[in-house]
Chains A and B, each alone.
Chain A
Amino acid sequence: MATLINVPAKVKRGEVIEIKTLISHPMESGYRVGTNGKVIPRDIIRRFVCTYNGEEIFHAELSPAIAANPFIAFFTVATETGSIEFKWTGDNGFAASERASITVE
């Protein structure tokens, strides 16, 4: 699953940084009707979790009202050098994860 993560590579300690995430996913709402006249079953990402060196810093519950290829951006305080992990889980056993490293001076 293609993901795009934007985390500043080098930051000062205590700085508030913006983390931007994007993942390719159809986010089928379950309300659309296909060419065969049948409703297309729901297929969405339900949950997004971000952990910073193992500690959860942000999580989001998504609904069918989130656009395809969910984009989520949020802020956090850069506390220490380490890795930031992203996890997406959803319908039909969907699971994806990504990791970004950050250097704090």
Chain B
Amino acid sequence: MSSPFLPPCETRATGPSRRQFLAGTAGIGLVAGLPVGSVSATTMMLEEAIRGVVGEAALHQGRVTLDVPPLVENGNAVPLTVTVDSPMSEADHVKAIHVFNEKNPQPYVIGVVLGPRAGKASISTRMKLADAQRVVGIAEMSDGSFWSGEAHVIVTIAACVEDLN
């Protein structure tokens, strides 16, 4: 005889039990989570991408300022301004600015080529960020030296990896 104190799943003959259901959904979550995890760039990829630009040269800290909001709600369009402290003269100017990120599927954001004609070494754009992460700016000077600056951004709604359904 069935007692009213028995858990309901003991008496139910049809349909999956709560335990089976939870185990099943956990499996779905794990499978669905895999491709998302595998497309994230890692700190190692960031370092490699930076090495690809800088090569064997020394990377100095400073002179590059990244202006990014510290907390953004929507990672689909994050305003970014990179400013490099340089007189922008024929003898001393910024040749190129590169921006990298840490956790998007690819470490590259933008690379621009400037010259003494720019007058001011500053660029602005809007980028996508897949997660709360570090954004690094590298400036290549006319004397061949490299300078870097970075900013941390906290993103509440990520870009890039969201589904459309």
Contact = CB atoms under 8 A, between A and B. Distances in A.
A75 B163 contact: no
Nearest to B99: A65
A83 interface: no
B101 interface: yes
A65 B112 contact: no
A73 B119 contact: no
A71 B125 CA distance: 5
A78 B164 CA distance: 45
B164 A32 contact: yes
Contact of A58 (B76, B113, B128, B161): B113
A54 interface: no
Interface of B: 39, 76-78, 101, 104-106, 108-115, 117-129, 159-165
Interface of A: 16-17, 20, 29, 31-35, 40, 52, 55, 57-68, 70-77, 79
Closest 6 A-B residue pairs measured CB to CB?
A: A16-B119, A67-B126, A67-B77, A73-B124, A75-B120, A77-B119
